[in-house]
Amino acid sequence: MGVVGLGAMGGGIAQLCVEAGIETVGREVSLELAEKGRDRIAHFLTRKVEKGQLGQDARDAAVGRLTLTADLGDLADCDLVIEAIVEALEPKQELFRELERVCRPDAVLATNTSALSVTEIASATTSPERVVGMHFFNPAPLMPLVEIVRTELSADEAVNAAFALGERIGKHPIRCHDTPGFVVNRVLIPVLNDCIRVLDEARVTVEDLDAGMKHGVGWPMGPCELIDLIGVDVHVHASEALWEKLREPRMAAPPRLVAMANAGLLGRKSGRGFYRYDG
């Protein structure tokens, strides 16, 4: 396995792979960043040992299965490579051009994009049949779902390989075609946007809106809590991407969320969003 980008998403994906016994090459733009990614993975695996969810030997073996590099050429022998870099089309297309050059012709190339077109990413290559989407949800080690996204040109072999990997690392993979937002975000993003509009229109408090959706609909987490967890900026970015593709009013991020993102009120990761967070 190869994982390009060892940030929050890529690090989580790499952790899943090494825990599943898969030799994994993690690539970052510098070895310093790669080592930071490995340290985060080691930390989370140590937490599992402390909770009795993983043995110390298994933890050490898992960390040992992760090889770090800053050279894309070190992915040459990988059977499947997952890209988890910045959520922007041009950098992803440039990366896939390079991956096509350095990887084996039979290697599957997957993108973890949540809102961009897998087809557009694949169009940067001369072998789009081996490109698929593998959309993990954050945090990848904990969220059970992975969307396996087929473009019009994806080969069955590539889709099946990605699906099999999802099962091997303990996920529940579902198949879908390349449409804006795929399955979950196509449903979830406009619903969350509606919730924030209701927050202002009904003049309900944040706490009462969350309580209403938890106790009236059965959601495990209220919409404001969920957006704080996702990251206000991440949600706004995904909303804008869907709005650009679909031009449906419900896809556009509500002004309240845009203002929060601009003010740095990003949710849990910044310590304050709809709620305040300590530590």
User: What is the average per-residue pLDDT within 105-132?
Assistant: 96
User: What is the average per-residue pLDDT within 41-51?
Assistant: 96
Same domain, residue pair 144 and 194: no
Q: Which of 112, 117, 185, 193 is catalytic?
A: 185
147 is catalytic: yes
What is the gyration radius of the CA atoms in the chain, in angstroms? 19
Same domain, residue pair 6 and 123: yes
pLDDT tier at 278, thresholds 50, 70, 90 = confident
Give the CATH number for residue 195. 1.10.1040.10
Give the span between the Cα atoms of 114 and 6, in whole angstroms.
Answer: 16
pLDDT at 139: 87
Give the span between the Cα atoms of 230 and 253, in whole angstroms.
Answer: 14
Angle between helices 223-230 and 206-217 (to 10 degrees): 110
pLDDT at 84: 97
User: What is the average per-residue pLDDT within 105-120?
Assistant: 95
pLDDT at 262: 97
Amino acid at 242: L
Same domain, residue pair 173 and 210: no
Give the span between the Cα atoms of 110 and 96, in whole angstroms.
Answer: 9
Give the CATH number for residue 82. 3.40.50.720
pLDDT tier at 279, thresholds 50, 70, 90 = low
8 Å CB contact between 25 and 73: no
Q: Which of 135, 193, 235, 239 is catalytic?
A: 135
167 is catalytic: no
Give the span between the Cα atoms of 232 and 183, in whole angstroms.
Answer: 20
**Average pLDDT of the chain?**
96
Last residue of one domain, picked from the residues 177, 198, 219: 177
Q: Is 278 part of a structural domain of the chain?
A: no
In three-state secondary structure terms, 156 is helix
Residue-wise pLDDT for 230-252, tens only, equals 999 999 999 999 999 999 999 99
177 is catalytic: no
pLDDT at 92: 98
- Cβ burial of 165 (10 Å; 0-12, 13-18, 19+) is buried
Same domain, residue pair 61 and 43: yes
Q: Which of 19, 100, 147, 225 is catalytic?
A: 147
Same domain, residue pair 157 and 60: yes
160 is catalytic: no
269 has pLDDT over 70: yes
In 107-171, the DSSP E strands lie at: 108-111, 131-136, 145-150
In three-state secondary structure terms, 52 is coil
pLDDT at 115: 84
Give the span between the Cα atoms of 212 and 266, in whole angstroms.
Answer: 23
With tokens 């087929």, the residue in question is 150
User: What is the average per-residue pLDDT within 54-62?
Assistant: 96
- Element at 68 (helix H, strand E): strand 66-69
User: What is the average per-residue pLDDT within 270-277?
Assistant: 97
Number of domains in the chain: 2
Same domain, residue pair 62 and 145: yes
pLDDT at 127: 97
Last residue of one domain, picked from the residues 153, 177, 201: 177
Q: Which of 112, 114, 154, 239 is catalytic?
A: 114
Enter the DSSP assignment of 3: E
44 has pLDDT over 70: yes
Residues 6 or more apart in contact with residue 252 via CB below 8 angstroms: 193, 239, 240, 243
136 has pLDDT over 90: yes
Residue-wise pLDDT for 211-230, tens only, equals 999 999 999 999 999 999 99
pLDDT at 55: 96
